[in-house]
Structure 1
Amino acid sequence: MKERMQPYDDIALAAKIATLEQTIEAWARQNDLWFDCGFKSYLEHVDGEPNPPSVVSLMYFEGPLFSIFNGYADDEGMAEEFYKLVDGLGFDAEQRDGTSMAFFAQDPEVSAAFDALFHWQWVCSLLKPDCSDVYEEIYAHFAGRPDDLHRLSWREYEILLYRIFQSQGFQAELGPGRNDGGVDIRLLQRDPIGDILTLVQAKKYAPHRNIRLDAVAALHGIAAVENAQKSIVVTTSNYEPVAKRFAARTSGSLQLATSADVVGWCEEATAGIIKDKSCLSPPKTFANCYSVSQERKTGASYEQLWLQYGSQ
């Protein structure tokens, strides 16, 4: 029996993605709209298993496109022109939030081919060395020395929280760090009754600089707009009493966390609450893992470990 040939190979699918992205960028540049924009794959954006129909590409945007897609300024009908352009290329565009747009193939066969391709890419991404013991050392350090959280940069603090939430079993998405729409990390918890989306805002502040009501209320408002079931503010400082009273009136949908909570999360991760540590291991080479292991044996400090490995 003759084996059935696949109608779309990987090269053809990659060409379709390239044509889509290049055409959109060319259109945006022609209309002077391409500022702080770009594309990334679903795997790069979410670091999780793709679900059909697959997101072929994700466009992130700020500047003029942000105003157009969010209805703030579109007197010339550029949004309609954009959607017609994408439709003419055989794709559907779906705005995911205020700063990103997802694209899906319209043709069922093409969509199924993308499903197979992206699932295979995700499987390949799991074939990485298990260096999670390095993360255990980082968690153990901060569990025992919470004051050192203040020594991290604001971005390192976000990355640490991102890894901690991954260790708790969440499908976590780390924001770009700048122009993130007020959300640093998005957490997705799969549930048969319905998925639960949690938005996280990290506030790496000095101990004396308490979080005010406006910052807490802002995240709560963003969660309502994005239909997120929960939101969490995490800080290295504390909260003004009025902010705590506000959170208490949200029936548990808004959580205010401090370094004490981060210490508890680190202790849980160190104790091995997570069963599958593979999600904590970034795509490093075996040689890099060996190098980090050797540094540990020679007494490298946690700062060296973090700069060499944890912030990747």
Structure 2
Amino acid sequence: MNQAVSAALADAMREDPAVVVIGEDVAVPGGVFKATDGLLAEFGVGRVRDTPISEMGFLGAAVGAAATGLRPVVEIMFGEFLGVALDQLVTEAAKLRYLSAGQYGVPLTVRASVGAGLGFGAQHSQCLETWFYATPGLKVAVASGPQTAYGLLRAAVRDDDPVVVLEPRRLYGGRAEVVTGDDGIIALGSAEVRTAGDDVTLVALGGTVPVAQEAADGAGWGAEVVDLRTLVPWDVATVLDSVRRTGRLVVVEEGPFSGGWGTEIAARVASELFGELRAPVHRVTSPDVPVPYAKPLETRYVPTVEYVREQVGELIETGRTPRPWWSREGAHR
């Protein structure tokens, strides 16, 4: 997947000389996760620049550059590092078109690695979609593998407004064939039905997509697995059409239960399809605790294939909302 990111950036830079890449260690080292490897050699220091360790500074510079003619792609090494520069993104970039009455757009792409699974601890393992998805003016996309990493990033760079592209870092080493060029671009706001099924709709995003798909593949029930791909705007029609067919919805999220992105999906489906549901809308999430560092605890923290399969199976069998593992075991209230 990291090679797909690099290929998307290279193709975008060949297509448009206004595209530039900046961030910590993106040039000479080729990115800490090697997602910008080879760009410096092809495009030079004028278009691929290493920055000081100052997210507020280089993201602010990118906002200004985007408003005055460039299409910057900013890499944030770990999603948490956006915390010190959030004002530049949600207050400046997201609002400039509105505040200027359309005179200035901000064609800015912000990439950030996110998620648990690699032992980076509580301060470097969060998903953080909720930092962005309630901000008008921002689009938010999340990669679930090599093809979505390529296609969503290409669409983001072409977009005339700011887009945040989140990349689950535990998927960087995943391999798959990738369609490149215009045929490989994935429109923002479009979900993908990955597998067909009649018993339940599983809506997943980013790192939970392969988990949901594997859980469905080995189960005794049939699931329609939907990769949401874009969180803002999300593909309401595809999700509603799927749930109308199956009568059940389970949202699979990596983040904590409280305030997760799945609350928006659940509320919309429950509101519009209440009379057609065969069971309560259910969310499978992580508990409301920091991401643990110890490997056994981190593995337990995120939804696993077995846990998703167990939760969905109980929902289908009983028609009732299953309790989460931490509630059953008294581990967290």
Report TM bin, short chain. Answer: under 0.3
TM-score calculated relative to the size of structure 2: 0.26
Q: Which has the larger radius of gyration?
A: 1
- In terms of fraction of residues, the more helix-rich structure is 1
TM-score normalized with structure 1 length = 0.28
Larger RCO (CA within 8 A; separation ≥ 6): 1
